[in-house]
Amino acid sequence: MLRQYEEDGFTVVRGLFGPDEVERLRAEFAGLQAAGRAVPGHFEPRSGDDPLDRFPRVMHPHEISALARRVLLDGRLREVLETLLGEEVLAAQSMFYFKPPGARGQALHQDNFYLRVEPGTCVAAWLACDEIDRGNGGLEVVPGTHRMEVFCPEEADAEVSFAREYVAPPAGLAPVPVDMAPGDVLFFNGSLVHGSPPNRSGDRFRRSFIGHYVGRSAERIGRYYRTMSMSGARVPLEESEGAGPCGTEFASPMGPH
């Protein structure tokens, strides 16, 4: 696991969470979406024809859901993360993506473009909550890019990406798909170029719960990210410049908000 992470910038731990745990996560966020009420700063559904208007991603769900907080701070994640980083880790962010059928993907990007962790970088723990493959918009990674600096992104194609930023794969490198089963967790370096295509399936969601983490030696991070220890105690870091939420969103191409 550690060897692959150091060589390629990512590794997958299969079956880290059990079927019952994944089902509880799905049910938690299904209930939030079904209620149809906005939770400002966390969950903001809109009127419109884009599938992501009704199923927007949930930002910092650990601040509004006890279950999401438990998953973000889970000891199994901590054990893997501290093995990969070689030091104590802090939790910086959580997200939940519904990615319903017909939803746009997210163009290739690097997470540390948004978090701006200094020194070092962040690490993502990406928990699959469905069978995930190329058909329903599974994640793609560009192995080896974790050794590179954070790139200045181009503008993405709004027809296929909900986020504006796009990083073209460097010469000689190409994205590879990562197929996953519910309960699998993909861990990857914050400089690793990654993204996903649209969900072109007719009836399959591609739900995922994501946590971002930093090593305890980090000194600065964007102010949007509220770091805490894996025991849940707030551990503020100094603010870095140029940071923002993961993925600057385009307006919906399919209708008004």
Q: How confident is the model at residue 55 (pLDDT cuts 50, 70, 90)?
A: very high
pLDDT in tens, 139-198: 999 999 999 999 999 999 999 999 999 999 999 999 999 999 999 999 999 999 999 999
- Of the candidates 72, 67, 112, the one whose C-alpha atom is nearest the C-alpha of residue 89 is 72
Is the Cβ–Cβ distance between 175 and 142 less than 8 Å? Answer: yes
CATH superfamily of 2-239: q2cbj1_9rhob like domain (2.60.120.620)
Q: Which two tokens stand for residue 179?
A: 């197929």
* Cα three-residue angle 194-170-175, rounded to 5 degrees: 35
Domain spans, the chain = 2-239
Q: Which two tokens stand for residue 70?
A: 């438990």
Is the Cβ–Cβ distance between 182 and 205 less than 8 Å? Answer: no
Mean predicted confidence (pLDDT) in 239-257: 67
**SS3 category, 51:** helix
Q: How far apart are CA 231 and CA 73, in angstroms?
A: 7
Mean predicted confidence (pLDDT) in 113-133: 97
pLDDT value at residue 245: 76
pLDDT value at residue 253: 45
**pTM of the full structure:** 0.95
Is the Cβ–Cβ distance between 94 and 72 less than 8 Å? Answer: yes
